[in-house]
A and B are shown apart, each in its own frame.
Chain A
Amino acid sequence: MKRVEKWKWIVIIFIFLIMFLTGLPSTGITDGTKLEKWLPKKVNLGLDLQGGTHVVFEADVEELQRKVEERGGEFTDKELRDAMDRALKKIRNRVDKFGVAEPVIQRQGRNRIVVELAGIKNPSQVAETVGKTAYLEFKLVSENQENYIERVQEDGLQNVKVKDKYLNEDGNIREGSLPQMVDILYQKVEKERDADGRIPFVLRNDIVVEGDSLKDAHVTMQDAEYVVAIKFNPEGARKFARITGRYKGRQLAIVLDDVVQSAPRIQSQIPNGSGIISGDFAAQEARNTALILKTGALPVPLKIEEKRTVGASLGQDSVSMGLRAIIIGFIFVFIFMIFYYKMSGIVADIALVFNLIIILGVLVMFNATLTLPGIAGIILTIGMSVDANVLIFERIREEYRLGRSVGKAISNGFDRAFVTILDANITTIITAMVLYNFGSGPIKGFAVTLMIGILASMFTALFVSRVIFQTILSRKNIRKLSI
């Protein structure tokens, strides 16, 4: 048989070395060695493997429309787009302040924003915080509370409740039952005397200082409690001074996102535009509140439509379980191929190892993300990628049985199997592509490893194992096929 062209081996060794070196750091072998500096970074792990949070916020479009129309404007798609862009910028700003490395913050569809955070201590809480509207208002507490609210004795406890005539059957404020001038909002408390853990306040709608006139916010201590100190801009300060002057002695409620934080009594006029928000904050909570107040309110309220959080320990468990499954699956298939195809099985096994190296290398090279379903995809590839070799070997056996010489049987086998392998794999790639386009995060990872696996197996079966066969045949005079 004729000699194998040298370039084929050069191509194989070149690809092998590149893939091997690209993938090597991800195995952890080079950790702490000098090689670490010279080789590429480790493969990106998905949130489900490294731990982290994936949140989808959805904008309350109706609320935005109401707000725009209240201002007398016309609500258009452009309004929504603008609001979403500004919200995105604000969220990015807030995430940056939390010091999250490489966060993902992007628009999705018409009215959604996706935030992905990893590598911080409490990603779930941070994600919730950055999506808060942070709309701060100071509202005067109405003088005639007792018109709307009653004190009741319940199970021997004092309780403050909104009168029944203002409530609907769900226990919420009935729409249209309150005069235009007032609104009822709740303060959340962790006290036993109120069964709901919330105290209603009747607030004046017309006497208000909005929080968009804030200049600064930071955490300080007051009476051994964490509070947020705020500073108004000049315009806000003037308004604040006017109200605190006129309504001295009355209560002023501090309302954040429609929840009453506290309602302190105005002791004296506050001329310099600084105020304190106290609200039974924990240290972290106070810091977060200050932070979102400083960046300002979102132009449109967002609600969490989807939230998925995986703890770092679970992620680690998933990685080690996935690795174990890969190793066990690999050993089974490896042994099976030798058992069934003898020496030729070894060639298939070499191709299999090559496949795995290519998958890892390509993942790193294209900066793709490995997820738990992605690991499953690798395991599946181990089982399926030998298929190309199986197709070839079965063809070779057939040709051999028909009485062809070893060399002829092998080259016929490869030629005949080629079309089959192509057709069969292209259809699998079609489904993998569909998966990639329709799937969300982790599922995309599955589609990616599957696609790389299929392409790699075509390369290793049709090219690499063929070259190995040809080389062996050209060096040794083989009469009997070990297959």
Chain B
Amino acid sequence: MQFLVDTNYKFVTKNRRRIGFAFSIILIIIGIVFYFLNGGLNLGIDFKGGATFQYKFEQKVDVNKLRDNLKEVGFDRAIIQKFGSDKEVLIKVEQGKDSTELKNYLEKQYAGIELRREEKVGPSIGKDLKRNSFWAVIIALGGILIYVSWRFEFKYSVGAILALVHDVLITLGAFAIFQFEFDRTVLAAILMVIGYSLNDTIVVFDRIREYMRVERPRSDKHYEETVNKAINSSLSRTIITSVTTLLVIVVLYIAGGQILHNFSFALLVGILVGTYSSIFISSPVLIEAHLKVSND
């Protein structure tokens, strides 16, 4: 079986480039709007401090009753949600509250209750993680910029980096919209998305570089056509790899358990967007960068 053989879709004509950019900018703006509407990302305790308890009950849990219970002992701002099954809940307590009381109370109130996971993060750890994540993303992007500039040309790295920033922003936007918890595993997923999306972009760039050597385009139009040809000839690979990767991520999302849910959601969004950007962002930006240089 084969598909997408000898295609000649026009991906990067001037109009199509504009449509692609506009579409991405709209997506990013939607993310930003939701970011402010929802009061930012739903940061997990990894970043803002606090405590989480995962309890397993013997019977089905009545979340409302549990909420009333916790109000009585002074945890009226605790967040309670079902976790995975009917018998399990996740209780989140804000930073600065002594949660020993909550534990003692629940263990007395409900017989046979099992504390399966407990996480407590203080403010200084959260602050460190924020700083570290910021630097992690910057250093990853910097390393990529250097590598791509070295192996290709500087204008290629502009395309690659913009595509990555695009992927990260849209993935963050999805978290702003759906308000899924943003914890340290999501951060890892985002770095992973950077790696994957770049992988995709490099494969296309590699083709572009190869064709440039053969074609030696003299006009801007010829340059554009060469880029387009490269995208088309690597199209089936781009799609197949995305399909196999998305396949396993969907499996991870469905069967990987609740703890990895946010992580696999970030990957799902990021890989979709990353595939899109390797066609509709990185190469078009390369063309724009080329035009800018050749017109000056």
Contact = CB atoms under 8 A, between A and B. Distances in A.
Contacts of B144: 427, 430-431
Interface string A13-54: 000000000000000000000000000000000001000000
Interface size, B (range): 35 or more
Interface in A348-374: 372-373
Contacts of A291: none
A434 B122 contact: no
A332 B254 CA distance: 14
Given A379-B252, A384-B245, A431-B140, A311 B116 contact: yes
Contact of A333 (B192, B203, B244): B244
Interface in B150-205: 151, 184-185, 187-188, 191-192, 194-196, 198-200, 202-203
Interface in A69-113: none
B107 interface: no
A64 interface: no
A204 to B, nearest CB: 29
B73 interface: no
B147 interface: yes
A420 B202 contact: yes
A311 B256 contact: no
Contact of B260 (A372, A401, A424): A372
A321 interface: yes
Most chain A CB atoms below 10 A, which of B136, B187, B246: B136
Q: Is the interface of B mostly helix, strand, loop or mixed?
A: helix
B267 interface: yes
Contacts of B200: 424
Nearest to A58: B124
Most chain B CB atoms below 10 A, which of A307, A427, A442: A427
A11 interface: no
A271 interface: no
A288 to B, nearest CB: 16
Interface string B239-254: 0110111111101100
A391 B203 contact: yes
Interface stretch (A161-169, A212-220, A277-285, A322-330): A322-330
A183 interface: no
Contacts of B251: 325, 328-329, 332, 379
B133 interface: yes
B220 interface: no
A373 B206 contact: no
Interface stretch (A258-266, A312-320, A463-471): A312-320
B54 A314 contact: yes
Contact of A394 (B194, B236, B255): B236
B256 A307 contact: no
B256 A322 contact: yes
Nearest to B120: A307
B259 interface: yes
Contact of B206 (A380, A424, A437, A446): A424
A143 interface: no
Most chain A CB atoms below 10 A, which of B132, B196, B246: B196
Report the 9 A-B pairs with minimum CB-CB distance, sorted nearest first. Answer: A383-B248, A431-B195, A383-B245, A305-B122, A329-B248, A438-B136, A314-B116, A428-B195, A321-B257
Interface of B: 1-2, 5-6, 54, 114-122, 124-125, 129, 132-133, 135-136, 139-140, 143-144, 147-148, 151, 184-185, 187-188, 191-192, 194-196, 198-200, 202-203, 206-207, 233-234, 236-237, 240-241, 243-249, 251-252, 255-257, 259-260, 263-264, 267
13 contacts: A329-B252, A379-B256, A380-B249, A383-B248, A387-B199, A387-B237, A423-B151, A426-B147, A427-B202, A432-B195, A438-B135, A438-B139, A443-B185
